[in-house]
Amino acid sequence: MLVKDLSSIVKIIFISVLLIGCMVDERDDPKTKPLEGSGIIEKELFIEIMAEISITEAAHKSRLFLPDNSNEIQLDNYSTIFSSHGVTPEEFEKSHTWWWQHPAAMKSVLQGVTERLNEIEREVNS
């Protein structure tokens, strides 16, 4: 009787593991893309914006003495970046949240940002 109960338990566990293993979560797919018309910024544009924001933040943080209105200046810099790409702050925030909720896809975004920053550095140094 004990062997029969153990056999049933093992079968249930095996089937459960198999079903869980077959479930696919789009957040784990590095090729996941936002749906068209969803208001999420597409990958290439998001990479460009993130690279520009990285440069702006690095410049802001590298100053030894910050003026009292440095946060306002930083917000103005963000606004300039967004408007130059035709993006609103709300679209950026929504997109930022979406990309971070899809870590496998976000990894490729971060790699793209790094590559873009390296390109900019090469352009500046040449």
28 against 25, higher pLDDT: 28
Does a structural domain hold residue 16? no
Q: So what's the pLDDT on residue 62?
A: 83
3-state secondary structure at position 1 = coil
Token pair 């590559």 in the structure block, residue:
115
Closest CA to 51 of 108, 105, 117, 109: 117
Classify residue 13: in a domain, yes or no.
Answer: no
Report the Cα 24 to chain-centroid distance in Å: 20
Mean pLDDT of 40-54: 96
Q: What is the pLDDT of residue 14?
A: 57
Q: Which of 42-46, 59-63, 102-106, 115-119 has the lowest mean pLDDT?
A: 59-63
- Please check the confidence at residue 89 and state whether its pLDDT lies above 60: yes
Q: Which domain holds residue 36?
A: 29-125
Q: How many domains does the chain have?
A: 1
Amino acid (1-letter code) at residue 27: R
Q: Mutual orientation of helices 70-84 and 89-100 as an angle, nearest 10°?
A: 90
| Amino acid symbol at 58 | A
Mean pLDDT of 83-109: 95
